[in-house]
Structure 1
Amino acid sequence: MKQVTSQVVTIEALTEVVYRVVLALPERLNFAPGQYLQVVMGERDKRPFSIASTATELPQLELHIGAHPDNAYATEVLERMREHGQIEVELPLGSASLIEPVTRPLILIAGGTGFSYTWSILQAYLAQAEQPQPVTLYWGAKQLSDLYYHERLQKLAERYAQFSYRPVLEYPDSDWSGATGLVHMAVLAEQAELAHADIYVAGRFEMVRVIRDAFVAQGLPIAQLHGDALAFI
């Protein structure tokens, strides 16, 4: 892990409350798909964000920051980036990165901007010369507009035979034909053999806790469930 000053290249609104941030590092600091960085706001104030890009894009990297107006944790980070045009970061961090070689089917589960964690893993896997195992991404959100890479993921699913995209909405419009409800319930409804897969999950701690308990009860070995939140719940 190393602390460096990164330059803010882009802050782009993806939704009303989610922003795509591109940072330029002063040097190439390698990281594994699924790792994260910490924005250093103070000596004892370090705020983690998943890295959404892959190491092939270095020295630039991408973050997806959910910054609802009442979420000071994230909005303060964006405010500092806009004001100063640079930010102190520490990286790489995290022990829930993609395990290689991939020997079991991959199931990626994201809630909200937890998608950034799964996006890094998905891109890295699909970029390999061969994809020996299928990969399925379940992305849960309240409504369709929250799925800010929806069309991009649909195109990837058309391009790669090994990739399946499963969006899940809690409050869908009347013309929605996809899965509805809670994202982990959609996984349980479609995936009969969890014990045969490696599962990577990111989202609110409450969501990750529910997934851990429900999936282990269905026979998933805990060693095959990956996510940095698991260390805190």
Structure 2
Amino acid sequence: MQRIKCRVAELREYVDTIWHVALTPLQEVNFKPGQYLLVVMSDSDKRPFSIANSPTRDGVLELQIGATPENAYAGQVLARMREQGEIEVELAAGKAFLRDSSPRPLILMAGGTGFSYARSILESLIANGSKRPVFLYWGVRQAHWLYEQAEMERWAASYEPLTFIPVVQEPEADWAGRSGLVHKAIMDDFVSLHDYDIYVAGRFEMAGAAREEFKLLGAEPERIFGDAYEFI
């Protein structure tokens, strides 16, 4: 993997506890859609974050970081970026990258800031003019954490292959969309998952439950991709 320095070009809060980070790498970088980088805090402390943009956008590495007050793991990374204005990263890591040679339609399932993983894949499909149908399901606990909902709705309006379905686990009274668990929403919408490539990002327990239940609808295990599956 490459180890490179990056300048912190942008650091702003999307919504409460979720941050957008734009890094400018100081040399050329190579990665595949859906891979992640490691923020180097020390040689023995390297912290993974999904890259949120497509490789088709040169000169930028975008991250979407959830950092609640009790989450020192992410908070310390943001603090170093603020204080130093630069950060070292290693990339690219992850085996759950987009299989762009596959002709199969795609289902992208993201929980919380796992959306960044799906976003990289989706942006690459759009940039390369893919005609493969793609269904993006984004699950969050509460609707205000759909921090790029408006942008995804614009993408769905302009990119015909895309269907975007946000799912809120604990909806308020004014939420008019889908509710419940995001993987259950997928199972409600598809009679069979046999013919799909499925990409999953989110909490390990969510990813594990989704894989087991998707198999019940005919999903082929070797066509379910997610970095969580390296660890569970």
TM-score bracket for the superposition, by shorter chain length: over 0.9
Aligned to 2:211: 212
Give the distance between the partners of 1:127 and 1:59, measured in 2 at CA. 16
- Asked if 1:127 corresponds to 2:127, the answer is yes
Conserved 8 A contact 2:37-2:89: yes
Which 5+ residue runs of structure 1 have no aligned equivalent? none
Partner of 1:194: 193
CA distance in structure 2 between the partners assigned to 1:218 and 1:54 by the alignment: 30
State whether residues 103 and 132 of structure 1, in contact with CA within 8 Å, keep that contact through their aligned partners in structure 2.
Answer: no
Matched, 1:97 2:106: no
Root mean square deviation of aligned Cα: 0.9
Distance in 1, Cα, partners of 2:134 & 2:4? 34
The one-letter code of the counterpart of 2:8 is V
**Deviation by residue 1:196-228 (Cα, 9 ceiling, x = unmatched):** 100000001111011111112322111110011
Q: Distance in 2 between matches of 1:100 and 1:133?
A: 10
TM-score w.r.t. structure 1 length?
0.97
User: Is the Cα–Cα contact under 8 Å of residues 35 and 97 in structure 1 kept in the other structure?
Assistant: yes
- Distance in 2 separating the partners of 1:22 and 1:57: 12
Partner of 1:13 in structure 2? 13
Partner of 2:169: 170
1:192 and 1:105 mapped to 2: Cα distance? 15
Partner-residue secondary structure (3-state), 1:133: coil
**Cα distance per residue 1:4-53 (max 9 Å; x no partner):** 11111110110110000000111111111000000011111110000001
Whole-angstrom CA distance in 2 between matches of 1:145 and 1:86: 30
Q: Give TM-score, length-normalised by structure 2.
A: 0.97
Does residue 144 (structure 1) correspond to residue 120 (structure 2)? The answer is no
Secondary structure of 1:195 counterpart: coil
Count of aligned residue pairs for this structure pair = 232
Indicate the percent of aligned positions where both proteins have the same amino acid: 46
Match of residue 62 from structure 2? 62
Cα drift, residue 102 of structure 1: 3.3
Structure 2, gaps ≥5 residues long: none
Aligned to 2:109: 109
